[in-house]
Structure 1
């Protein structure tokens, strides 16, 4: 085996081990920390948007990207999101999304990811996907100092803006761990926090059929699906997930499309 392949394998194994160590805490999110958060549902964001003619025109622009305009007040929408890339699997994922004409939202890591695969970041933006932040080094934001939080958020934003010409307005906190300090810094930096309602726990398995089954068991209208394109079982599961969702009448959208004509507000936390 070439040394470069061994190194990639060790890096992936190390990241997987770190995620697995945190998995027990992460699985408690719906029952503990995040349940006490003041979160905004996509339907609430849409309902609070102005409905006069001027606002309507703006809403169409906000909801429009390379995949067209979607009105999730009428369509049965769901957002497909991917954390912790880009990775060596992301090019194939982008091929699948292009073939299926489906947009996604990518919450990217900086260290060892954005800096390693800059061409994939550019491709994500060029092909109409929403490019957002998952911090620079996946540090748990509730455990570090305010200046360290700012650095974790600033570095990927700077890198993404250099590559795409657009500064991210969305972020996803590692493990979904957030608090009032994080909210305040996000408000200061023009970022909204995006959580999720569906997780395949793909960090625990390489079984693509199981990943697909878990997603489809949990999904409902306005859902935000959390997947990780860094794991080998995830990308092969995506075609089946997309096909099944379309058969059920879902329209797959980016997170901004899901909220439109509402718009994610800095410092707020969004979760179905």
Structure 2
């Protein structure tokens, strides 16, 4: 996905073309390297601890689905939060640091205050698999520290940029108390501003225990959210955060979920 800033959208045309192609193939590339990527499904996690507490929705019985938004906060995030509040829908936000968290700290606080899960999407959106261990640690820990400063709570979830991960990323994530969360549904909203198309892509691919990947920084995404919510509700889905989707199980640091 392109680097999520307005500046890049205006001036980084070449980078956009390369990044879009890379994002579309991210999971394939992750699987084709030296590391065999093993992921855990939400239903598997739920079966591991029948005595643990879970949220207001019991996803062992309900038809649950999780909305997740990457690379915010952005100029569109306030409107998205208004929609989610009006619809009473919780979401999981994988936030970026530079030019996002540091630009919109009040939105980070609002996300936490309104009951959303605030998670880590690195400080600069660099591909973690191309960094040395100290670089990976810096990308994750700096974001963790800033979110904790603003919300009073350290993230327990992270999403690697473009879904690229490997054994080194798993190890450092485990050290930092972070579980990796990928996705099962993507609208590829970085390729279009057509809100109707984004809505159709989500609806065509959604199923029970789905983790939907969207980006609230792109112009077409937030306008698509009300339609996505309305139609998925009509189909009988209950919206939950990623931790609620896994409950009564719990995500383990260093493990990968999809």
TM-score under structure 2 length normalisation: 0.93
What are structure 2's unaligned runs of at least 5 residues? Answer: none
* 1:20-99 equivalent positions in 2, closer than 5 A: 20-34=17-31, 36-49=36-49, 51=50, 55=51, 58-60=52-54, 63=55, 69-99=56-86
* 1:1-272 equivalent positions in 2, closer than 5 A: 9-14=6-11, 18-34=15-31, 36-49=36-49, 51=50, 55=51, 58-60=52-54, 63=55, 69-271=56-258
1:33 shift after superposition: 2.0
For the 8 Å contact 2:92–2:242, the answer to whether it is kept is yes
What are structure 1's unaligned runs of at least 5 residues? Answer: 1-7, 64-68
1:27 shift after superposition: 1.9
Distance 1:179 1:214 in 2: 28
Task: Quickly say closer, same or farther: Cα 1:144–1:32, change in 2 above 3 A.
Answer: closer
Distance 1:202 1:166 in 2: 30
Distance 1:102 1:16 in 2: 35
Q: Secondary structure at the match of 1:84?
A: strand
For the 8 Å contact 2:68–2:92, the answer to whether it is kept is yes
Q: Deviations over 1:35-77 (max 9, x none)?
A: 731110001111122x2xxx2xx423xx2xxxxx111010000
Task: Quickly say closer, same or farther: Cα 1:76–1:248, change in 2 above 3 A.
Answer: same
For the 8 Å contact 1:134–1:173, the answer to whether it is kept is yes
For the 8 Å contact 1:137–1:152, the answer to whether it is kept is yes
Q: Deviations over 1:225-245 (max 9, x none)?
A: 000000010000000000000
Equivalent residue for 1:66? Answer: none
How many corresponding residue pairs? 251
Distance 2:94 2:79 in 1: 17
Distance 1:16 1:122 in 2: 33
1:91 shift after superposition: 0.1
TM-score under structure 1 length normalisation: 0.89
For the 8 Å contact 1:34–1:176, the answer to whether it is kept is no
Distance 1:230 1:268 in 2: 28
1:30 shift after superposition: 4.4
The alignment's C-alpha RMSD in Å is 1.5
